[in-house]
Amino acid sequence: EAGVAQSPRYKIIEKRQSVAFWCNPISGHATLYWYQQILGQGPKLLIQFQNNGVVDDSQLPKDRFSAERLKGVDSTLKIQPAKLEDSAVYLCASSFWGAGADTQYFGPGTRLTVL
């Protein structure tokens, strides 16, 4: 079974530029998550989708971050414009139903550096 795919793996941009990340979850998984992990901290949930609807985006900085999951499969996360504090690893994960005891399967992440 193929795992969660993410691209790119690494990205370096200057502040005020835009960047987009892509995620392809495990086939059949209804729930997709985007996390931000800043160095020295645990991953923080940015947004959770159930199929193509948003379940939770309470910690997504909506003035600069946006995410979509068209057709309930792939997802993109965009930052526009980027700030220095956005430097982090962005992890995508998927799970079958999204229930609390469901295992979340993670992609390898995208390491973003904002200069």
Partner 1 sequence: ILNVEQSPQSLHVQEGDSTNFTCSFPSSNFYALHWYRWETAKSPEALFVMTLNGDEKKKGRISATLNTKEGYSYLYIKGSQPEDSATYLCAFMTNTGNQFYFGTGTSLTVIP
Q: Please report how close the Cβ of residue 2 comes to partner 1 at its closest, in angstroms.
A: 12
| DSSP states along 19-79 | EEEEEE--TT--EEEEEEE-TTS--EEEEEEETTEEEE-TTS-TTTEEEE-GGGS-EEEEE
Identify the residue among 21, 94, 107, 114 touching partner 1 (CB under 8 A). 107
Q: Interface mask (CB under 8 A) for partner 1, residues 57-86, using x and -?
A: ------------------------------
Residue 115 binds partner 1 (CB under 8 A): no
The answer to whether 109 touches 47, Cβ cutoff 8 Å, is no
Q: Please report how close the Cβ of residue 13 comes to partner 1 at its closest, in angstroms.
A: 21
Q: Which residues contact 30 (CB under 8 A, 6 or more apart)?
A: 50, 51, 72, 95, 96, 97, 98
Q: Which stretch binds partner 1 (CB under 8 A): 16-24, 61-69, 79-87, 99-107?
A: 99-107
Nearer to partner 1, 5 or 17 (CB): 5
Q: Kindly identify the residues of this chain, within the stretch 27-46, that bind partner 1 according to CB under 8 A.
A: 33, 35, 40-45
Q: How far apart are CA 107 and CA 32, in angstroms?
A: 11
Q: In angstroms, how far is CA 46 from the centroid of its own chain?
A: 7
Residues forming the site for partner 1 (CB under 8 A): 3-4, 33, 35, 40-45, 48, 55-56, 91, 98-109
